[in-house]
Amino acid sequence: MHTRRSLRRIRTGTTAALLTAALLLTACSAEGASNPAGTAAEAARASATTAPVLAALPRSVPSALAPYYGQKLRWRDCGVPGFQCATLKAPLDYAKPSGGDVRLAVARKRATGPGKRLGSLLVNPGGPGGSAVGYLQQYAGIGYPAEVRARYDMVAVDPRGVARSEPVKCLDGPKMDAYTQTDVTPDDDKETRALVDAYKGFAEGCGASAPKLLRHVSTVETARDMDILRAVLGDGKLTYVGASYGTFLGATYAGLFPHRAGRLVLDGAMDPSLSARRLNLEQTAGFETAFQSFARDCVQRSDCPLGGPGTTPARAGRNLKAFFDRLDTRPVPADDSAGRGLTESLATIGVITAMYDEGAWQQLREALTAAMKRNDGAGLLALADGYYERGPDGAYSNLMSANAAVNCLDLPAAFSSPEDVRKGLPAFEKASPAFGESLAWASLSCAYWPVEPTGQPHRIQAKGAAPIVVVGTTRDPATPYRWARSLARQLSSAHLLTYDGDGHTAYGRGSSCIDSAINAYLLRGTPPADGKRCS
């Protein structure tokens, strides 16, 4: 079970997969996908164009915030060769800057040269809830193109409530195990009450963990923290690469501070103008699009457990759903030290995990074969554990806690009650016969959150900002391509860069066309032509 919205980078076996929690309506016919919600979807899209515009903040720094903007970072050794760490202070509540601080973990790797240093490049892997510091140390600081690392100090800050930055922690390991195994396709009133109780228990744990911070982990507040970091680092404008939810964060920064937005890359773009329900529905359809692509590949292979040559993707999907239905009453053993079996909820997450990167398709075929043919759920359970960031010792990162904390604050809940979910089920099941039911019920979680939301759907124009590169992948499962198109239409200075392919996000995933276009923008300030396509 998870809150729908954005991205994370995880490890699935040997595959580095980019995971999100975002949402999808319908892909355009140009991308070969059908409309899962018909005229209702178009009506929702039309209403999104009337959403209010995010207003820019004043150019001058308020005097009450001057001490934060004037602070000096004390860099120290991180314990990771080549990286330095520091702690940044930001106001807990920007409306009351004197009311206390939040301490944010920052890391950097200095520009290696040769060539003139261009400043700092801030990176964020999404989530919400993904550790940007961990991402920098494990990937971006060593895996970004050498020419980019040569010219920029690579920098990351864990957002408030995330990882090293005063993390929100809702449940301990055993309770998280129970939570992730809760049946999210309730068949009767008893199972519905159990699901609601699980959501309430999770929310209560979060409220007890961080009662004050929980009111101040919104995307707007994190974007304002980024501006303090920009100033403290000595940069006149922010240079930034954000993936998935990181695009929402970067676009929010541009909307609040258009005059300080420098070279921004928004890869796997989200659409801020949509409601939580629309986001969840659209992402559900996005996972279906990705599954159809996987299924077309799978049935051509001798080791496909969903059908052989001649099997249609639709038939493969029905076979997968039948497998999920069997697990609903008969979990498969998984040889797990904690005694967990492979339940329907964990299997669904395991399959969804592999949709983020086509490089995980072989791993998924093997895991499905083991579970469906040999009664061994270990492979799918490992995929689900990667999604949830559950370690071998049974401990979880705070990813899912922070993910819920941000999502439930940023937007009103997708559904308000079980009855509300049941009314919405037909649209979700049409969007994805395999995943729709479970993802609709997962969208109920924010209904029981202990803090009222502070955000609403809105458009971001960022008038006056320098050129911003918005990247969309045509068969992205988690941030559908139409979101990139929508965000590019909203931003006044956007240049849309399209990758015609599978998987989540595009930069650094094997397309030399995408990588060279983004590198040229970061290094020389030359954005790709608006509408450029790569494959």
Which CATH number does the domain housing residue 203 bear? 3.40.50.1820
- φ/ψ of 153, rounded to 5, equals -75, 120
Those residues with Cβ within 8 angstroms of residue 307's Cβ, 6 or more apart along the chain or in another chain:
298, 299, 315, 316, 319
pLDDT confidence of residue 47 = 55
Sheet holding 76-77, edge to edge: 76-77, 84-91, 101-109, 152-157, 119-124, 238-243, 261-267, 468-475, 494-502, 532-534
Number of domains in the chain: 1
> Residue 445: which of 248, 235, 242, 280 has the closest Cα?
280
Question: What is the bridge-based pairing of β-strands 76-77 and 84-91?
Answer: antiparallel
Q: Interior CA angle at 241 toward 102 and 245, to 5°? A: 65
Residue 464 DSSP SS3: coil
Which secondary-structure segment (H or E) carries 497?
Answer: strand 494-502
d(CA 526, CA 132): 26
437 contacts: CB under 8 Å, gap ≥ 6? 185, 425, 428, 429
DSSP 138: I
The pLDDT value given to residue 10:
36
pLDDT at position 40 is 47
pTM flag (> 0.85): yes
Please give the C-alpha separations between residue 298 and each of 124, 231, 503, in angstroms, as whole numbers. 33, 50, 16
pLDDT value of residue 396: 98
Burial of 507 (0-12, 13-18, 19+ CB in 10 A): buried
- Least Cα distance to 271 among 495, 27, 24, 13 occurs for 24
Give the contacts of 172 (CB within 8 A, at least 6 positions apart): none
Q: Which domain holds residue 272?
A: 1-535
SS3 128: coil
**Dihedral sign (CA 14, 390, 454, 43):** positive
End-to-end Cα separation, the chain, in angstroms = 33
Active site residues: 244, 476, 504
Q: Cβ distance 266 to 247 under 8 Å? A: yes
pLDDT at residue 338, as a whole number: 93
Judge residue 329's burial from the number of C-beta atoms within 10 Å of its C-beta, 0-12 exposed, 13-18 middle, 19 or more buried: exposed
Cβ atoms of 99 and 118 closer than 8 Å = no
Mean pLDDT, 10 residues at a time, over the chain (535 residues)?
A: 41 31 27 40 59 97 98 96 98 97 98 95 97 97 97 98 97 98 97 98 95 97 98 98 98 98 98 98 97 97 95 97 97 94 98 97 98 98 98 97 98 98 98 98 98 97 98 97 98 98 96 98 98 97
